[in-house]
Amino acid sequence: MGDTVENATFEILKGIQASLADLRAETVTRFDRLEARIDRLDLGICEDRRIAAGMPVMMRAAAGDFDARVSEFEGRVPALESRTS
């Protein structure tokens, strides 16, 4: 009976050791995937920051263009008004 208990104990310990090895391998794999995902997110954040920094420049340019067009139109209005009067 002593051999049976020792064999069973060793089999249980081997099973636990195998489970721990599988868990470690799975954890490493998950960690690697998470690192890759974080790297992709970092790249996306950098791109978003660059885009956000450029948006005020584009808004100012659009506002300036709009202002120039309105000023040009305002300059023509008195000429058109004098023609109809």
How far from 74 is each of 6, 21, 33, 59, 81, CA to CA, in Å? 100, 78, 60, 22, 11
Instruction: Please name the helix (run of DSSP H) or strand (run of DSSP E) that holds residue 50, with its range, or none.
Output: helix 2-84
Q: What is the pLDDT of residues 22-59, one digit of tens each?
A: 999 999 999 999 999 999 999 999 999 999 999 999 99
- Higher pLDDT pick, 16 / 84: 16
pLDDT given for residue 19 in this prediction: 93
pLDDT given for residue 22 in this prediction: 92
CA–CA dist 10, 16 (Å, integer):
10
pLDDT given for residue 7 in this prediction: 86
Looking up tokens 């790249």 gives 43
